[in-house]
Chain A
Amino acid sequence: DAGVTQSPTHLIKTRGQQVTLRCSPISGHKSVSWYQQVLGQGPQFIFQYYEKEERGRGNFPDRFSARQFPNYSSELNVNALLLGDSALYLCASSLSLYEQYFGPGTRLTVT
């Protein structure tokens, strides 16, 4: 079975630009969560979506937004990029509460 997939693998953007990251959950999983992992730190919760609705949001500015599609895939959008947005962005899918499976992440570098 395919695991959680994320695209792109790596991305380089300039300050002020916008970026879209994509995630495909494990087949049958209806929930997707997004995390930001800055170098040297643990992941920080950004969003959770379930059945296309936002279920939870972490302490991130409104520049961060996400959505979930009918096929349960998800996109994370970040506007007006800052240098501090450079991080590994992880997507996790789950079938049930607290059973999260993480993808390999998208490495975003903002210059």
Chain B
Amino acid sequence: AQSVTQPDIHITVSEGASLELRCNYSYGATPYLFWYVQSPGQGLQLLLKYFSGDTLVQGIKGFEAEFKRSQSSFNLRKPSVHWSDAAEYFCAVGEGDFNKFYFGSGTKLNVKP
């Protein structure tokens, strides 16, 4: 069965420091991969997506993610974190010919001043 694992429940980084959020997936075919961000009381905002092609994808707000098939990973990175990046981040994989997404359990990011 398809699954998404985000091994880090909470991460705290200092403002200006680099960030990497981990995501591992289990999926038999070529995955469609996504990162979403959720601020308190808000819905999900799409940061970036990977369908095929270049394994390094750029997203909004300065985020990027790298697809590594050999490691079944799709880690999210940002070179310099801003206080406004504090939120919860979800990795997701899409399945089939309709919009069924499997989400990870999320990583809460705290940013220290």
Contacts and interface: CB of A to CB of B under 8 A. Distances in A.
Interface of A: 4, 31, 33, 35, 40-45, 48, 50, 55-56, 58, 90, 92, 94, 97-98, 100-105
A100 B44 CA distance: 10
A41 B108 CA distance: 11
Given A92-B44, A103-B43, 18 more contacts: A31-B98, A31-B99, A35-B103, A42-B4, A42-B105, A42-B106, A43-B101, A45-B100, A45-B101, A50-B98, A56-B96, A90-B43, A94-B99, A97-B99, A98-B51, A100-B99, A101-B46, A102-B44
A83 B92 CA distance: 27
User: In the complex, which range does the number of interface residues on chain B fall in?
Assistant: 20 to 34
Contacts, number: 65
Interface of B: 4, 32, 34, 36, 41-46, 49, 51, 90, 92, 94, 96-106
A43 B103 contact: yes
